[in-house]
Amino acid sequence: MGGESLSWPWGTRTQRLLYDNSTTTEQQDQVDSTDHLVLAPRRTYRKDPLNHFKRYTGGWNITNPHYWAFLGSAYLSSVSATVAVQGNHMAILELLMPSLCFSSYPLCIGCVVLYTGQEKFHSSTVNTLEYVVHQADTTSGNLRNVSEYLSAAKQINISQVSLPPNVQTDIDQIQMSIDSSATTLATKTRDNSEDIKHLIESVRLTLIILSAVMLGLTFLGLVFSLFGMQLLVYILVISGWILVTATFILCGIFLLLHNVTGDTCIAMKHWVQNPTAHTALDDILPCVDKTTAQDTLNRSKEITSQLVNVINTVISNVSNINFAPNFVPLYYNQSGPLVPTLCNPFNPDLTDRECAPGEVDLNNATEVWSGYVCQTSPSGICVTTGRLNPTLYDQMAATINVSYGLYQYSPFLVELEDCSFVLQTFLEIDGTYCPGLGKYSQRVYVGLVMVATAVMLSLVFWVIYGRERRHRLYTKAIHQQAKAAISMLNNSFSSIPLSTFMTFAVFVPFWALEHFCDLSGN
C-alpha cells in the first residue's frame, strides 16, 4: 500500500540491517542541539496508532508508548487473523479431510521447534543480560577501587609528611561523585536486567506449559475420537479453540519481541556511530557522567603526582641527608649510597612525563629501594649501612602502592570519560549476541505458528471424524432395518398357497387388457 512492500521480519533482515546502518550525513544531523540521538530512525519509521496513524519518528525507545503502539500493530494483526480463522472454521471443516492420525505429526514437529527455539532464545537472552551486568559491575567495581585508593591516599604519612589539606578536601568531594556514579551504574543496569529476566522467564514458562498442554490435548483428542467419545471430543474442541486463540496471541507477542530485538540491535549499531550522544540506550547501560569521569581522571593524576612529591621530599630531605645525632627523629644513622628519587609520571600540567636518568619507576621502586634498607637497633637506629629504616621503607612502599594503583587506573578513567566501555559492550553484543537473539526469536515464532496450525487442523479432523462416524452408524442402522423388512416380506410371501399365485397370474393380464380396450373405445 502506498508504494510500501510487505515482508516478513526474518526475510529481509540482512537488507534492513544494511539499509539502516549505512553511514550518511543524515544520521549526523539527527543529533540535535541537546546532543540527543534518535536511534534506528528508518527501521522504526512506521505508522503510529496513537498519533492518528502518522509516521513515528521517535526512533528506538522502549520507554516511549508510541514506540510500543506501532509494534503492537503486528500483534493485533495476529489476533485479527485468529478471529478470522475461528469465524470460518465450518468452511474449513467441509474442505479438509486428511488422516486423523497424521494430523499429530506436524504438532510434534512444531513442539520440538518451539521447545528448542525457546531454550536457545532464553539462554541467549540471559547470556546477553549477564554480559551487560558484568560490564556494568566491572566498571562500577573499578570506580570503587579508585575511590578506595583515593581514601588510602588521604591516610598517607611519611615521616610526618602528608598530602596538603586542600588536596584531601578535593579527595572527599570526588569520592562522593565516584560512589554516586558507581551505585547508579550498577543499580540501574541490574534493575533493568532483572525486569527483562522476569519477563523472559515468564514467557519461557508459558511456552513450556503451552507445548505440554497442546501435546496432551492432541493425544486425548485422538484417543477420544477413535473410541467415539463424542461428548469428550466436543469438550476438547472447545478447549482447543481457546488454546489456539491463546497461541496465536502468543505468536503476536513473540513477533513483537522479535521486532524489539532487531530494533535494539540496530539502535546499538547506530549509537556506536555516535557514541557520545544521549539516547534511550542509557536505560540499558548508561555512560558515567562525563564531568565526574573528567574530574576523577584529573584528581587521580594530581594525587599520584602529589604522592610522588611526598616520597621525593622525604628522600631528599631525610634519607639522603647525614643528620647529626641530636636531630631526632630525623637522625637514624643514615649512611651509604644515596637513595634514587621516584619518577613522577606527570608534568605539573598533568601531561605524561618521561623519567629522568637516575629516577626509579613506580613499578619497580620498592624492589630497588629494598637494597637501601638498614638493620636497626631496638631504638630505631641503623646498625648497618643504609639510608632507609624498615619503618620508613614500609611507609614509602605503601605510598607507592597507592600511587601505582591510581596510575594504573588512568586508562580506565580515560575510557570512562569517552564512554568507551559502553562502546565495546555494544559492539560485542551486536557481533556476538544479536545474531542468535534474532535467529532464536524467529524460531520460537515459527514454532508457535506450527503448533497453532497443527492443533487447529486436529480440531477440524476430530469433528470430521466424529461426523463420519455418526454417519456410518446411522447408515448401518438403516441397512439393518431394511434387511429386517425384506426378510419379513419373504416370510409373508412364503406362506401364500401356489393356487392363489396362479389365479393372480392369469387374472391380472386379462384385466389389464380389458381395461386398455375400454380406454381405447372411449
Task: Choose the weakest-confidence range: 123-127, 373-377, 433-437, 460-464.
Answer: 460-464
Which range marks the domain in which residue 343 is found? 290-417
Statement to judge: residues 325 and 397 lie in one domain: yes
**Element spanning 48, H or E:** strand 47-48
Statement to judge: residues 294 and 266 lie in one domain: no
Statement to judge: residues 97 and 198 lie in one domain: yes
Predicted pLDDT at 1: 39
In DSSP notation, 77-143 reads HHHHHHHHHHHTHHHHHHH----TTTTHHHHHHHHHHHHHHHHHHHHHHHHHHHHHHHHHHHHHHHH
Statement to judge: residues 397 and 453 lie in one domain: no
| Number of domains into which the chain is organized | 2
Cis peptide before 329 (omega within 30 of 0): yes
- Band (pLDDT 50/70/90 cuts) for residue 369 is very high
Query: How confident is the model over 141-196, as pLDDT tens digits?
Result: 888 888 888 888 888 888 778 888 888 888 888 888 888 888 888 888 888 888 88
Residue 509 lies in a domain: no
Task: Choose the weakest-confidence range: 42-51, 335-344, 417-426.
Answer: 42-51
Residue 119, pLDDT above cutoff 80:
yes
pTM: 0.65
pLDDT higher for 14 or 276? 276
Statement to judge: residues 360 and 426 lie in one domain: no
- Band (pLDDT 50/70/90 cuts) for residue 97 is very low
Statement to judge: residues 79 and 180 lie in one domain: yes
Predicted pLDDT at 192: 81
Query: What sections of 21-88 are H helices per DSSP?
Result: 25-29, 65-87
Q: Which amino acid is at 460?
A: V
Residue 517 lies in a domain: no
Statement to judge: residues 333 and 257 lie in one domain: no
Report the distance separating Cα 270 and Cα 233, nearest Å: 54
Statement to judge: residues 452 and 351 lie in one domain: no
